[in-house]
Structure 1
Amino acid sequence: MNDIRGLEPPTGTAALLFDCDGTLVDTLGLYRRCWTQVFGRHGFVMTDEWFHTWAGHSIDPFVRAALPSAGDELVAEVTTQGIDLFLESTHLLEPREHVVAVARAWHGRIPMAVVSGGQRVAVEQTLEAVGIRHLFDAVVTVNDVVSGKPAPDVYFLAMQVLGVDAGRCVAYEDTSSGIDSATAAGIPLVFDVGDHSPVGIADFR
């Protein structure tokens, strides 16, 4: 059994909201390999430092940052290339068990959603690949909103779908972009699952 100490939501939590990539599922290594290959075809050499700087941002600004002179048509083409390459290898993915254990522990007890800046097709296939899609009442992605992370739009929509107020929600993220998105949506407690540290304080009693 996985240890969830340090990640437990406080009593009175209305909903749990989880990022997908890097939070519920260890996707970043696969994404890094895919984007290194795709960007390389277009003349951009992606370093690990650059990748980690942009990790957590939604895909459109991510691609535009790599290819700043690209027009909309090329951005769409490159995005499709990157996602298609990723989808070919989702069978290699592994869940981040210490975070998934939280979702398993509260499944059926309080509403839960996946709140991602990724493309829906990639997020849904990722969750199915590691066998955890059934744990969540909703999946909200960048395809459902105008602006992806670090904007708060995906969190606002997820809370609307679940019918809960931000002030009683807890979020789980692994990047500064995701944490900024959740806090901008008014969520008082966000766990940085990279080091189990809470951002903010919540007392829902």
Structure 2
Amino acid sequence: MNNIIDNITSDIKGLIFDLDGTLADTIPLHLQAWQSTAQELNFYLTDEMILEHSGTPTEKIAEMLGSLHGWNTNPEVVADTKRKYYYEHKAQAGKTTPIQKILDIAYEYHHKLPMCVGTGSTRDGALKSLADINATHLFDIIVTADDVDHPKPHPETFLKAVDHMGLKPAECIVFEDGAAGIKAAISGGMKLVDVRPWLN
């Protein structure tokens, strides 16, 4: 397998990074929070159901899965409960750790190319995770679920990042681990690195 940085070819003028599961090792905490939520609110849930929509904001996941599986629970209540458990589990686990292989790329290209974060997290959650991994200063812009009308898998998150950098989609590469984000990058016309093969 080539080095992941080899994907940044000479035609690339901007880098876009997903956050959860790409820069920050938060996916296990999110899965724990979802399972705790399902137990409290008494609905059926598997990790695979969540991973299939990884990168999509919590309330949207609750809407989609609730409709599909008949949860009969207000998506806002699901989202609020899940966030509560996420921060509880995070407090127990301690500081969020970085996914160093990907974070190293951001450090390598800091001040060399414009870089953005495009995440399905809320702005508050994204800023906390970036602060935990000492990465806030690396990025020119952070596009969150609070900044878009159509979250991943719609490409709006990444297209806003492209616009902020003053570039064209084809001039940008997205580093992403989530199924929804991968769809968003492809449909938005950006180059894509699925980081999952490099995470093991």
- Give the TM-score of the pair, scaled to structure 1: 0.85
- 143, 167, 191: which one aligns with 2:193: 191
* Identity of matched residues, %: 26
Q: Distance in 2 between matches of 1:141 and 1:58?
A: 9
> Structure 2 counterpart of 1:195, which letter?
P
Unaligned ranges ≥5, structure 1: 197-205
Q: Distance in 1 between matches of 2:136 and 2:174?
A: 17
Equivalenced residues, count: 191
- Contact 1:83 1:122 (C-alpha < 8 Å) held by counterparts: no
Could you tell me which residue of structure 2 aligns to residue 131 of structure 1? 134
The correspondence of residues 123-202 of structure 1 with structure 2, limited to 5 A, is 123-187=126-190, 189-196=191-198
Q: Report which stretch shifted further, 122-131 or 98-107.
A: 122-131
- Contact 1:20 1:115 (C-alpha < 8 Å) held by counterparts: yes
Q: Distance in 2 between matches of 1:119 and 1:44?
A: 24
Please state how far the C-alpha of 1:181 moved relative to its aligned partner: 0.2
Q: Distance in 2 between matches of 1:51 and 1:78?
A: 13
Could you tell me which residue of structure 2 aligns to residue 6 of structure 1? 4
Q: Distance in 2 between matches of 1:101 and 1:121?
A: 23
Could you tell me which residue of structure 2 aligns to residue 200 of structure 1? none
Task: Encode CA deviations 1:181-204: one digit per residue, 9 max, x unaligned.
Answer: 0111111x20010114xxxxxxxx
Q: Distance in 1 between matches of 2:35 and 2:65?
A: 11
Q: Distance in 1 between matches of 2:18 and 2:185?
A: 10
Please state how far the C-alpha of 1:58 moved relative to its aligned partner: 2.5
> Structure 1 counterpart of 2:54, which letter?
A
Please state how far the C-alpha of 1:51 moved relative to its aligned partner: 2.4
- Contact 1:7 1:102 (C-alpha < 8 Å) held by counterparts: yes
Could you tell me which residue of structure 2 aligns to residue 82 of structure 1? 82
Task: Encode CA deviations 1:14-57: one digit per residue, 9 max, x unaligned.
Answer: 11000001111111100011111112211113222222222222
> Structure 2 counterpart of 1:190, which letter?
L
Q: Distance in 2 between matches of 1:167 and 1:54?
A: 25
- 98, 103, 117: which one aligns with 1:100: 103
Could you tell me which residue of structure 1 aligns to residue 118 of structure 2? 115
- Contact 1:36 1:45 (C-alpha < 8 Å) held by counterparts: no
C-alpha change, 1:41 and 1:65, in structure 2 (3 Å) is farther
Q: Distance in 2 between matches of 1:92 and 1:38?
A: 22
Is 2:70 the counterpart of 1:67?
no
Three-state SS of the structure 2 residue aligned to 1:92 is coil
Could you tell me which residue of structure 2 aligns to residue 28 of structure 1? 27
- Give the TM-score of the pair, scaled to structure 2: 0.87
CA RMSD of aligned residues (A): 2.0
Please state how far the C-alpha of 1:116 moved relative to its aligned partner: 0.6
Q: Report which stretch shifted further, 60-69 or 34-43.
A: 60-69
Please state how far the C-alpha of 1:70 moved relative to its aligned partner: 4.3
Unaligned ranges ≥5, structure 2: none
